[in-house]
Structure 1
Amino acid sequence: MAEEEDFSSLPLPDRFSHKNWKVRKQAYEDVAKQFAKSPDESDPCFRPFLNDPGLWKSAVSDSNVAAQQEAILSLCEFLKYGGRDGALRTRGLTISPMVDKCLSSTRPAIKQNSLEALLLYIELDVAAPVIEEVLPGLGNKVPKNVAATLNALTQIVHNYGCKIVDPKPILKALPKAFGAADKNVRAEATNLAVELYRWLREAMKPMFWGDLKPTQQTDLETQFEKVKAEGAPKQERLLRSQQEMAESGGGGGGDEGEEEGEEEADEPAEIDAFALAEPEDVLKKMPPNFHELLASSKWKDRKDAVDGLHQVLNVPRIKDGDFNEVTRGLAKCMKDANVAVVTQAAQCIDLLARGLRQAFGKHRATVMQPILERLKEKKATVADALGGALDAAFLATSLSDCLEDILAFLANKNPQVKEGTMKFLIRCLRTTRDVPSKPEIAQVCEAGKKLLSESSPVMRDGGAEILGTVMKIIGERAMNPNLEGLDDIRKTKIKEYFEAAEVKAKDKPKPVAKPAPAAAPKKAVAGKKPALGAKKAAPAEAAPAAKPAGSKLGLPKTGGLKAPQKRPLGSSGTTSPRRSGPIMPPSDDEEELPPTPPQPRAAPSRGLAGRSLAKPGAAAVQMPAEYSPPPPSGVSAIERAELEELRTANDRLTRHIDDLRQERSKFASEIQELKNQNASLIEDHTRDVLSVKAKETQLVRARSDAEAAEQTNDRLRRELDRLKKALSRAEANGMMSPTHDDMYRDTMAAPSTRSRMSLASSLSDERENGDVPYARSKLSPDLRYAGSNGSSGRESPARGYRNIGRHDDGSDSTLTSGRDRPVSSLPQASNGVESWRRAAEVTSQLKARIEQMKAKQGFARP
């Protein structure tokens, strides 16, 4: 039987991509053993996978399940021992394949190790990138993969909690999981929702509750009831950074106790709905006629306006915007005569303040004073709504912002306003998280002492409760100066409220030096005698000890508090000229220095008072050998405590300055952005104004053109009317002709005469009306010539008479016609046909004139 070929000599990248699955499986096992045996993260066994992270992508996607199982296990070993760098380089390549192929595997080992790898990725860095890679698995078409992804998210939240894992992207994906057709997917979605409820409680509901069916809501409520009985959840798995902090701070039991106490104090302040929800732009959803209804004289319209606003504002988080007009309208509603409008407006202010939080601070001054003035209302429902609005406004700001208005209304003449303001101040003192400043405490205490002298028992009890709550915040000792002048009965009442008060802000006293470190050096000085020249040093020790008898601390000091600060600058405390001047003459003591070498070790324990002043040379020579810090005396301990306190205050001030600088830069950037927006708006406005002016110019021009056309049409209409009148007169004159033969002869006899008479009659009519539309030069040649005064020429009357009697055959009938009727009757007899011809000519000319005018107007119009 042939032996199998040994592939262990091949490089790891070749073995990881080998076509034989056994070779790949053996490679995964080998690297897992190497990782487990590595001394630290810098071992060479990690280098190939840091240089080529893609090896793990092909490993976790191995087609052979046996090799894939070993690949997932070796990846876990790599993450466990390889450190954060390995996790950062590989998570973008391995998480998606694991979610698609490993979490839903049929082998339990693959599923368990894949989940462990995801937890290790979070442990080594943060959770957000891992969650971002896992969530796409919820969109898989295979229900089994979706259920496995939901299970993985449940385990991640269970191990690390919602303080490490951001629940917002998970909550957004929950409604889709609840709407799946597969029952296993819905069951895993229920488990995830219950796990999230353990951490978030009711704050999670606004994110997805409205998208669920009523039956699903009922089932979840049943599951939530079981969770409510459990205690507050705790993080079961720590991040690598948290583990390092725990190891570094594990020595101090007191510090751990303080940290645990702080954590317990922070546990109730879990993530609320405001932190989970996305800001909504409610200004776009407001009714368009809100301000009109709010200003209506009918109370029903005003009630409808605030009701509609209440529905719009009833969201967990509101996007900041221009609410100045809205808050002014709500503040005006506080003076409304209808209590229903006042109550609903107060509830709108409550929702707006809770939805905006800190952004509501700029609107506080607008609404707070009207609300405090309305506290005179005696109805409980109205008072509760006003109190809720005041509490929401306070939570969005601080006690320092509201204190001025509160103190002003505590002196109001109305008892109801004063009582409501007093209760509001008590609630503010209980819920504030910032300790008031000393001037603010003095103002509050002064107001409380004034309330103690009120005639109403409620006001006196309120004053005592205010003082007791302040005492709970700053402590009994700090409160004693503010209680001077009060009798024992009132002090007893204040003490009762002090013991029962519950506050969130407590003033931490400044650290003071403990008596134990100060007493130890004192005993050491008294118990040990100086070894060098004890008899000569005794008077020198007694003299300095008698000087600090009046010290406030009751501790010996030689040169005041500044002496220990100056001492480390030199090699010894005895190098001061004040000490070395008068003690230089003795020389016998200098001979005693060589026989006593071990004495410098005992010198620091004697302190300043136990140091011999008779041997400055000895101290100067012996102390620098092993002495670098100042001697641990009682004075130096106090100074160190003060120095530490000053350093802490300096660090706190430095951090505060940095925060202010960051805030300033943020505001500067916002101001610049607003300036840019303002500039763009100005440009848009200017462009719109110019466009409007251009349109107005065009409109004026069009109107002028229209007016000119109307005038022209009127003129033409009048002219046409005149022509009709002339035509009618001509028809009437034509009817006076005696016979048809005479009309025919007249028509054939003197056309020029008839034309001249018709034109003369029309022109005479026009002169009578005062309007001659055309000059004589603009008429047709025949008409213009017919109206001339000359008597000679072709169209002269004489030639016209001559032509009348001429027939077609050339015979002249002038004499005959002259004998038949008078010559003066010939023009009258021919007026009928000539008038029709004249009318036709004038009409054609008018039509041509109108067409010319239309063409000119159409060409000139813009």
Structure 2
Amino acid sequence: MSEEEKLLKEAKKLPWDDRLFHKNWKVRNEANIDLAALCDSVADPKDSRLREFGPLFRKTLADSNSPVQEKALDALIAFLRAADADAGRYAKEVCDAIVAKCLTGRPKTVEKAQAAFMLWVELEAVDAFLDAMEKAIKNKVSKAVVPAIDVMFQALSEFGAKVVPPKRILKMLPELFDHQDQNVRACSKGLTLELCRWIGKDPVKSILFEKMRDTMKKELEAELVNVTGTARPSRKIRSEQDKEPEKEAVSEVVGPGPLEESAADAPQEIDEYELVDPVDILTPLEKSGFWDGVKATKWSERKEAVAELTKLASTKRIAPGDFTEICRTLKKLVTDVNIAVAVEAIQAIGNLAKGLRTHFSGSSRFLLPGLLEKLKEKKPTMTRHSPNSSSNAYAGCLNLIDMLKAGFMF
């Protein structure tokens, strides 16, 4: 028996830590192979050994020897297949280690890294996965960015928008559109198109197009024509895999009817409001001179102050806050002697209602009587804007019972 064979034989008697981090790379290599085999043999995801192995991967994946690193990924994949959602406690540090050490490796290493990411998603560690992707796309080496975008595409394509939150991906895309590497730009375009398959074209265009270069817009517009809402998840998260599969509603012989076909083809209905981050408008409003402006004797200054509020409140989603004093001021301004000021106040109320939705419910009850009074006025400018703001307040915040309680008839 050679010295090397003796070393490998003796090493098998050592604890896992000593084997996996041994100075001899062949010992480490065999340790990872044995660890993968052991994980493959584990039948119970609650097996106590899995908890022992979980913390080890953060270091094994950083092995400087490429073949050993690949074997470490094999062991991780075997571990994730054997484990259950409880393994999520190790997700953050392990996903970060993969991003830091594996995405710039050999093609096979990158492929295995992506497979490991997909298993983390399967185990419902989606937040840790996407946190790691946010770090990956900032890598100065474009070689590491492309596989990160690619695995997000895979995750969304296979698990769907209910498992992989579109909002997180939408926030990452703008900085990729102008990336200096054409492969990164091409991948980001593909991911954008995949988002359209899941949540529809309009929400994606509304949120992203203003952040794109004209060239990218044209390219996407040309390809969006071929995007249809036929997206369906092809892979289930682990907790869903053991459940009884749903029976097919239609036999293969008969085929689906027109109504069933259109229902299946429809993209997942997602409210664009939920896809954007809320914007604080109270802080910039305080700095704008709003409070002095609305008290000005000149109507033009009052209108200008309210117009600033209207502009700030035109954002898609407004961060909740204390709008009590603002609404008291707007209620007075709705009855301003100058029609232009009153109209601007009504527009501001409508924007606040759309941007705050249920967070505006109390204020809408307070403001609605004044708005409904304006419906009685015959001035063309007023009648054009007042119904719109009333309907916004109603649609976003009130129900019919609230309005009936207020004693208003239509």
Q: Normalised by the shorter chain, which TM-score bucket?
A: 0.7 to 0.9
The equivalent residue for 1:118 is: 117
Q: CA deviation at 1:351?
A: 0.9
Distance 1:5 1:379, change over 3 A: same
- The runs of 5 or more residues in structure 2 that have no matched partner are 250-259
Q: CA deviation at 1:79?
A: 0.9
Give the aligned length: 391
2:327 is equivalent to residue 327 of structure 1: yes
The equivalent residue for 1:281 is: 281
| Alignment partners' CA distance in 2, 1:58 and 1:334 | 65
The one-character-per-residue Cα deviations of 1:408-447 (angstroms, maximum 9, x if unpaired) are 332xxxxxxxxxx3xxxxxxxxxxxxxxxxxxxxxxxxxx
Q: CA deviation at 1:80?
A: 0.5
2:233 is equivalent to residue 235 of structure 1: yes
Matches within 5 A, 1:505-544: none
AA aligned to 1:231 is G
The equivalent residue for 2:102 is: 102
**Retained in 1: the 8 A contact 2:88–2:125?**
no
**Retained in 1: the 8 A contact 2:95–2:117?**
yes
The one-character-per-residue Cα deviations of 1:338-378 (angstroms, maximum 9, x if unpaired) are 65544433322111012122221121233211221222355
Q: TM (normalized to structure 1)?
A: 0.41
Q: TM (normalized to structure 2)?
A: 0.80
Matches within 5 A, 1:794-813: none
**Retained in 2: the 8 A contact 1:280–1:317?**
no
**Retained in 2: the 8 A contact 1:127–1:165?**
yes
**Retained in 1: the 8 A contact 2:174–2:212?**
yes
The equivalent residue for 2:45 is: 41
The equivalent residue for 1:132 is: 131
Matches within 5 A, 1:560-579: none
| Alignment partners' CA distance in 2, 1:54 and 1:326 | 53
**Retained in 1: the 8 A contact 2:365–2:398?**
no
The equivalent residue for 1:386 is: 386
The equivalent residue for 2:256 is: none
Secondary structure (helix, strand or coil) at the match of 1:409 reads coil
| Alignment partners' CA distance in 1, 2:316 and 2:306 | 18
Q: CA deviation at 1:91?
A: 2.5
The equivalent residue for 1:860 is: none
The equivalent residue for 1:798 is: none
Matches within 5 A, 1:95-494: 95-107=95-107, 109-201=108-200, 202-204=202-204, 209-227=209-227, 230-231=228-229, 233-244=231-242, 246-247=243-244, 269-274=269-274, 276-285=276-285, 288-290=288-290, 293-294=293-294, 299-336=299-336, 340-377=340-377, 382-394=382-394, 395-405=396-406, 408-410=407-409, 421=410
**Retained in 1: the 8 A contact 2:198–2:229?**
no
Distance 1:21 1:268, change over 3 A: closer
Distance 1:3 1:222, change over 3 A: same
**Retained in 1: the 8 A contact 2:199–2:267?**
no
The one-character-per-residue Cα deviations of 1:523-581 (angstroms, maximum 9, x if unpaired) are xxxxxxxxxxxxxxxxxxxxxxxxxxxxxxxxxxxxxxxxxxxxxxxxxxxxxxxxxxx
The one-character-per-residue Cα deviations of 1:486-528 (angstroms, maximum 9, x if unpaired) are xxxxxxxxxxxxxxxxxxxxxxxxxxxxxxxxxxxxxxxxxxx
**Retained in 1: the 8 A contact 2:133–2:148?**
yes
The equivalent residue for 1:51 is: 52
Secondary structure (helix, strand or coil) at the match of 2:78 reads helix
Percent identity between matched residues is 31
Q: CA deviation at 1:271?
A: 3.8
The one-character-per-residue Cα deviations of 1:80-118 (angstroms, maximum 9, x if unpaired) are 013333x235424422222233233332x3222211111
Q: CA deviation at 1:204?
A: 4.9
Q: CA deviation at 1:75?
A: 1.5
Q: CA deviation at 1:286?
A: 5.3
For CA contacts below 8 A with separation 6 or more, give which structure has more relative contact order: 2
The equivalent residue for 1:682 is: none
- The runs of 5 or more residues in structure 1 that have no matched partner are 254-259, 411-420, 422-862
Distance 1:34 1:105, change over 3 A: same
Structure with larger Rg:
1
The one-character-per-residue Cα deviations of 1:445-465 (angstroms, maximum 9, x if unpaired) are xxxxxxxxxxxxxxxxxxxxx
| Alignment partners' CA distance in 2, 1:301 and 1:396 | 30
AA aligned to 1:157 is L
Secondary structure (helix, strand or coil) at the match of 1:139 reads coil
Distance 1:178 1:219, change over 3 A: same
**Retained in 1: the 8 A contact 2:114–2:147?**
no
| Alignment partners' CA distance in 2, 1:351 and 1:378 | 23
**Retained in 2: the 8 A contact 1:206–1:316?**
no
Distance 1:271 1:4, change over 3 A: same
AA aligned to 1:149 is A
Secondary structure (helix, strand or coil) at the match of 1:376 reads coil
Secondary structure (helix, strand or coil) at the match of 1:316 reads coil
**Retained in 1: the 8 A contact 2:178–2:185?**
yes
**Retained in 2: the 8 A contact 1:167–1:276?**
no
The one-character-per-residue Cα deviations of 1:625-663 (angstroms, maximum 9, x if unpaired) are xxxxxxxxxxxxxxxxxxxxxxxxxxxxxxxxxxxxxxx
The equivalent residue for 1:74 is: 75
| Alignment partners' CA distance in 1, 2:289 and 2:69 | 66
The equivalent residue for 2:21 is: 17
| Alignment partners' CA distance in 2, 1:83 and 1:409 | 57
Q: CA deviation at 1:128?
A: 0.9
Distance 1:52 1:283, change over 3 A: closer
| Alignment partners' CA distance in 2, 1:341 and 1:365 | 22
| Alignment partners' CA distance in 1, 2:124 and 2:172 | 24
